[in-house]
Amino acid sequence: MGAPPARRVGGEPSALTQAPAGAATHSPAPAGLVGTVFRGEHKWLECLHVTLSAKSKTYPLFQHPGTEFIFMLEGVMDYSRSRSVYRLEPGDSLQMDGEGAHGPVDLIEVPIRFLSVIAFPDSQV
């Protein structure tokens, strides 16, 4: 039967996406990364729920405008940002400028699941 659908009961408008239905788009990204992209009326934010498996390839060369925030949910990976490598485990977070090369370099414990939120500058919207 499930819970009733969420609805706004007051306050400012927000972008609400409910799982499994809603504005979710499943798409393969470069290097076989699979994510769910949630986009609402606030187009300057891109929120992804990324899953990496043993079949995923590492790709430490992502670059994009804006700031990215990563929050680890499951698994362990080494994540590169410029000349630094960070070991990320569940509960860890990393915030970085997206314009420098970044991405996973070693998948230590799979499956790996993390949330990635990219805030784009106004000029990119």
Q: What is the tens place of the pLDDT at every residue in 27-47? A: 444 444 555 555 555 567 888
| pTM summary value | 0.71
CA 88 – CA 45 distance, rounded (Å): 23
Question: How high does pLDDT run on average in the chain?
Answer: 77
Q: In the 8-state DSSP scheme, what is residue 6?
A: P
3-state DSSP percent of the chain in helix, strand and coil, to 5: 5, 50, 45
The average pLDDT across 70-90 equals 95
Topology (CATH level 3) of domain 32-124: Jelly Rolls (2.60.120)
Structural Rg of the chain based on CA atoms: 16
Tokens for 89, please give them.
């485990």
Q: What is the tens place of the pLDDT at every residue in 59-69? A: 989 999 999 99
